[in-house]
Structure 1
Amino acid sequence: MSRPALPASHILLALAVVAVWGTNFVVIRIGLDHLPPLTFAALRFSFALLPAVFFLKKPDVPWGNLAGYGVLIGAGQFGLLYIAMKGFISPGLASLVVQTQVFFTIGLAMWLAKERIRSFQILALALAAIGLLVIISHNTDASVTPLGLLLVLGAAASWAGGNAFSRAAGQVNMLAYVVWASLFSAPALIALALAVEGPGAMIEGVRAANAATWAAVLWQSVGNTLFGYAAWGWLLSRHPAATITPMAMLVPVFGMGASAIFLGESLPGWKLGAAALVMSGLALNIFWPRLEGRLTRPASQTEG
C-alpha cells in the first residue's frame, strides 16, 4: 500500500528546519566577524546546554556515548567548520562540501559493521568526488582554499563519527541527546579555544561582539540546535525516515542561495556544476535503494 502524503503543515515545518540549517552558514560567517572561531563554537554549545539541560531528562545512554558524540560534533564538526569559514571557504561552498559526511558515514559503516559497499554507492561517491575536484581546479574567485576544503572535509568526517555514536544510542529523544552531549562539547571547545586562540583573544572577541554577533550565537544555539533537532525529531517520530531525510538535501540549496543573496557570494557555472555533481551523488545514495525496491517488488505488493 502507498504511504499517506505528508500534511502541508509538516512539509512547511520540514522546509523551515532545512531553511534554518542552510541559512545558518551565513549566520556563522556574521558571527565570525568579531568572535574567534573556537570561542564562537564554545559559546554556541554553552547556550545550547544551558538552561535546557535543567528541563530535559538525560537520555538512557552511557556517558561515554554522550561524550563521544559531544566531542566529535562540537570540537570536530563545528570547531573545524568555524575555523574553515574564518576566511578559508565561503559559506555557500561550506554548506555543500560538509554534506560529504554521507560518504564518510558509509565508510565508517563498512569499517565498523563490516557492511559491503554496493555499486550504486561507488557511483554516488564518484560523482561527489568529481564535484570536489571541480571545486579544487576551477576556483577563480578565492571562495575556497585547499586548507579550507580539508578543514570542511575533516568536519564532515567528524560528523560521520558523531553519527556512529548517535546510531549506537538507539531510539532516543534527539533534542535531549544533543543538549546533554553539549555537556562535553562546550568544555572541549573552551579548552581548545584557550590553547589555540588564548584567553586574551577570547575576551577581546566577547568585548567586541555587537548585537548581530550575539544574535548569531543565539541563532546557532536556539534556532539551529534546539528548534532544528526538536522539529526534525518530531517529524521523524511521525513519518518514515525515508520520507523526511531526503529533504535535508535542500540544505546546500538554502546555504548557497542565502550566501549569494546576503553576502554577495558569486555563483559561476563551475560552482553550480560542482554543486550539481555533489548533490547528484547524494541523491543517488538516498533514492536508488528505494527505486530498486520498487522495481524488484512483486506487482501484487505495489498495487493499492
Structure 2
Amino acid sequence: MLKHHSPHLLATLQALFVAFLWSTSWVFIKIGLQTLPPLTFAGLRYFIAFACLLVVLAFSPAKAELRRMPKRLWLRLGILGLLFYAGTQGASFVALSYLPAVTVNLLWSFNTVIIALLGVLFLAERPTPFQWGGAMLALGGAVLYFYPVAIPKAQSTGVLVALTGISMHCISLILGREVNRSSTVSPLVVTVTSMGIGGIVLLAAGLSLEGLPSLDLRACAIIAWLAVVNTAFAFTLMNATLRTLTAMESSITNSTMLIWIPVFAVTFLGERITPKELVGLLLAGLGTVLVQLRRPPKIKPGAA
C-alpha cells in the first residue's frame, strides 16, 4: 500500500514545496524593489531563468521538437509569452512596487474565479453549484478585506496595474490550456519558448523605459535566486509533478500560497493584517479552493 501511494505522495510534497518557493518570491521581490526598477527587475529574472532552462532543454530529447514546431504554434507560444511573462509578470512586479504583498496576493487569488467564468465562455466548462458557492465566498472575503472601500490615492495605480495583470494572466491561462490540449510538444518546450519570448521583451521594455539598474551584491543575489531556484528549478519540478498529480490537485497545492504569502509578509516585511482582513483572507482562500473542486468526469459506456 505504501509503495502504491509513495509516488503520489512524493509528487504532492514536491508541489507543496514549489508553492512554498513561489511564496518566498514575493518577499524577495518586495526587498529587491527597494533598489531595482520593477520592469527591469522582472525582465532580468525571467531572461536568466530562460537561459537556465535553455541549457536543460539542450540536454533533453525534447529539443528535437523545436525543429518540428509549425509556424502557427510558434505564433501562439509567442502570444502566450507576451501575455504571461511580459504582461502578467511585469504587471505583478509593478503592482508590488505600489501595494502591500498581502493586498496583491488577495487580488491575484481571483484568477481562479475568473478562469472558471472564462472556462464557461470559451471552453464549454460548466461549474458546479459548489463551485459557484466558492466564487461567491471568495468575493465576499474580498469585500470584507477591503471594507470600507477606501483605496489611498498612492495605491490606486497599483490596483489598476494588478487588475490589468490579472486579466492578462487569465487570458494566458486559457490560451496555455488550449495549447497544451492541442499541442504534442512537451511542457518544457512550451515553457522555454514562451518564457524566452516574454522574458526578452520584458527585459527590453524595462531597459528602454527605466534604463540600466544599479546592481549591488544583494540585488544580484536576489535576481539570481529568483531566476535559478524560484523559476527555472521550480518550473522544472512542477512540470515533473504534473505527470502524477491531476490538474485539480496541482491547483489546490498552489492555493497554499494564499496562506504562505501573508505569513511571510507579516514576518519578514513588517506588513500588518487586522482581524477583519484576516477573516476576509481566510474566506477568499476557502472560496478559491472550493472553485477548484470539480467532480470527476463521467466515464462514457465503453470508455477505457
Same-fold call, TM > 0.5?
Answer: yes
Is 1:135–1:271's contact at 8 Å kept on the other side of the alignment?
Answer: yes
Alignment partner of 1:134 out of 107, 123, 144: 144
Give the superposition deviation at 1:161: 1.5
TM-superposition CA deviations, 1:167-223 (whole Å, max 9, x none): 12226533432222122112321343255xx3xx421x2x2x222212221222212
Q: Which residue of 1 aligns with 2:201?
A: 188
Amino acid at match of 1:127: L
5 Å matches for 1:97-246? Answer: 97-138=107-148, 145-170=155-180, 172-194=185-207, 198=209, 201-203=210-212, 205=213, 207=214, 209-246=215-252
Q: Kindly, what percent of the aligned residue pairs are identical?
A: 24
Q: Check if 1:285 corresponds to 2:298.
A: no
Counterpart CA distance in 1 for 2:99 and 2:164 is 13
Give the superposition deviation at 1:92: 2.5
Is 2:45–2:226's contact at 8 Å kept on the other side of the alignment?
Answer: yes
Give the superposition deviation at 1:6: 4.8
Amino acid at match of 2:263: G
Counterpart CA distance in 1 for 2:276 and 2:164 is 23
Cα gap change, 1:5 to 1:284, in 2 (>3 Å): same
Between 1:20-29 and 1:241-250, the stretch displaced more is: 241-250
Counterpart CA distance in 2 for 1:154 and 1:40 is 19
Cα gap change, 1:168 to 1:11, in 2 (>3 Å): closer
TM-superposition CA deviations, 1:51-106 (whole Å, max 9, x none): 432441256571012112111111221111111111x2111332232121112222
Is 2:248–2:294's contact at 8 Å kept on the other side of the alignment?
Answer: no
Amino acid at match of 2:123: A
Aligned length: 282
Counterpart CA distance in 2 for 1:115 and 1:239 is 20
Amino acid at match of 2:192: V
Gaps of 5+ in 1: 298-304
Q: Check if 1:263 corresponds to 2:269.
A: yes
Counterpart CA distance in 1 for 2:186 and 2:229 is 17
TM-superposition CA deviations, 1:130-162 (whole Å, max 9, x none): 2222232258997x9343233223222222222
Is 1:89–1:145's contact at 8 Å kept on the other side of the alignment?
Answer: yes
Cα gap change, 1:147 to 1:225, in 2 (>3 Å): same
**Structure 1 length-normalised TM:** 0.82
Counterpart CA distance in 1 for 2:160 and 2:271 is 20
- Secondary structure of the 1:147 match is helix
Counterpart CA distance in 2 for 1:273 and 1:80 is 27
Gaps of 5+ in 2: 58-62, 300-304
Amino acid at match of 2:53: A
Is 1:174–1:229's contact at 8 Å kept on the other side of the alignment?
Answer: no
Give the superposition deviation at 1:19: 0.7
- Secondary structure of the 1:85 match is helix
Give the superposition deviation at 1:259: 1.1
Give the superposition deviation at 1:10: 3.7
Q: Which residue of 1 aligns with 2:99?
A: 89
**RMSD of aligned Cα (Å):** 2.8
Cα gap change, 1:227 to 1:52, in 2 (>3 Å): closer
Counterpart CA distance in 2 for 1:139 and 1:126 is 18
Cα gap change, 1:113 to 1:281, in 2 (>3 Å): same
Cα gap change, 1:67 to 1:249, in 2 (>3 Å): same
Amino acid at match of 1:217: I
